[in-house]
Structures are given as C-alpha cells and as structure tokens.
Amino acid sequence: MSDAARILSRRVLTAGALRGTRKAAAAAPPAIFYAPHQDDEALGLAGSILAHKATGRPVYLVLVTRGEDSGLAEWMNEDPCHWKGRHPCAAGGRHKVSWPTDPPGVSDSVIVAARTAEFLASARTLGVDKVINLKLADGSQGSAADFDDFVRTVKVRIRDLAQQYPGASHQFTAGWLEATRPHKAITDAAFHLMNEGVLRDVRFNYVYAYDKPLEKRADGAAYVLDIPPAHMAIKRNAMYCYNTWDPGRNLYALGYHSVPEKFESAHNDPREFLFTIPARYAPGPLD
C-alpha cells in the first residue's frame, strides 16, 4: 500500500478515546505548545505533546492565527478535485461545495471555521488539557512594518501566557527554518521574550522538516525525538483529523488538501526534530 493510500486508511478517535491517558499532575506547570496554523500540531508537535503527557504533565495547545486562506477555498471549489491523480481525495474526487471567493477574504468565515474544526478534533485526539485559540488575523504579510506589528501583537499574547502560567515550558515551531512569515514572526516574538528573560524553558520543533529527504531531516537538530509506536499511532490519528470528509461536523479534509506531501511524509516518519535558536538569529521576515 502506498503512503498516500495509507493515510486514507484510518479512523478519527472520538473525544473520549484517550481517557486512559495518564492524568496530568495538577500541581505541575504546563507545557505550552504553539501551533501557528491549524495542522502544525499534528504534523510536527504531536510526538512531543504526547511525550509530555506521558510524564503526567499538563499540556496546553495554543492556536496562534485564524488560518485565513482564500486560495484553499478556490481549490475546494474545483470539480474534480485539484489533486485528482496525484493524491487521494477523502471526498472521492468530488467536493460538491461552492464557497465564496470574491472579493478576497470573503471565504474566511467558512475556511477558518472548517480548519479550526479539524484542529479541535486533532487536539482532542492528542488529549491536550487545554486549547487556547488566540484568533489572531495573520498580520505578518505585507510590509516589514506590518510584520513587526504582528510580532509585537504575538509577543504580548505569549507574555500574558507566561505570566498566567509561571514555570511553564514553551514549545514553538522553528520559524527561521520554515520560511513562512507567520511561523517566523512567532519565533521572533519568542526570541525577544527569551532575551528579556520572560521565557526560560523554550524549545523549537522543525515542523517543515518533512519536506526534506528522509536522511537530511535531522541535519542540525539539537535533539531527535524517536516517537514510540503507541504515540505514533495517536499522532497518525491526529493527522487523520485533517483528512476526514464529514461535512456534518464541518470536516472537509482541508489540511490534507492544503499540504498533502507534508502529511504523507510525516505519517511515515516516527521522528520529530528539535532545534535551538541560532546564536546569530536575525529577527525580521526572511523574504
């Protein structure tokens, strides 16, 4: 069976499916994970989330941006499926949706709600103790000034969480490696807070490592997490939440339709890649 076919041979865990997971110690400070967009937690943070859960530590999952994507609405309106012949479609190649796409941004209410439904299903599957949705519009696009404004906004929200949960660890994606503006902006905010002494226990997962050839994904990593088989099974179920077609639950397989190659690669690699921030880290957009 091909990787693409395997990712369709799945089921989504229900909200109560993980009740056997070890109960988090109430007195322990939480491990706070930050997903820039819906799907980042399933792709490259899930193994780390489950490792923290296994110690009995509470885990909080933060969704930073709203996840607006008008281009994704245009793809989903295509009939047959945009990926027909290249990647399997959970809807059988016929989406039968007609989402508004003009003017730009009009689809946000549909796309954001559907992407967030996938995110919440994934979070339930991973058994996180709390979901925090910051609902930030992606202000990182545009001018350098726009980017800096977004960094400041994110920084304020992270600072608030650090003050609300003293002693918490904070785990981000490695935005300087992932070359997307929102990811980089969130890493910039973390970088500034580290320098100010607000964040002390900080890690960075390279979520987009799965775009690289298998043998190069760990290059430069400070630590490679080998995900145990039982945890990898749960991580895959979290990924399947992004490839489930169930319009009655507002699930339209948007994550997989958006980045199928990332899902297929992450599905087949039981590792996650943790990096330390470079000594000569340069804040600001990469483009």
Could you tell me if 66 and 114 are in contact, meaning their C-beta atoms sit under 8 angstroms apart? no
pLDDT at 103: 86
Strands 271-275 and 223-226, how do they pair?
A: antiparallel
pTM for the model stands at 0.91
Alpha-carbon distances of 171 from 2, 62, 135, 206, 207, rounded to whole Å: 32, 10, 19, 11, 12
Out of 19-33, 85-99, 176-190, which region has the weakest mean confidence (pLDDT)? 19-33
pLDDT at position 24 is 42
All structural domains of the chain, each given as residue ranges with its CATH number in brackets, are 31-275 (3.40.50.10320)
User: Residue 6 — very low, low, confident or very high, per pLDDT cuts 50/70/90?
Assistant: very low
Tell me the backbone φ, ψ of residue 156, rounded to 5 degrees: -60, -45
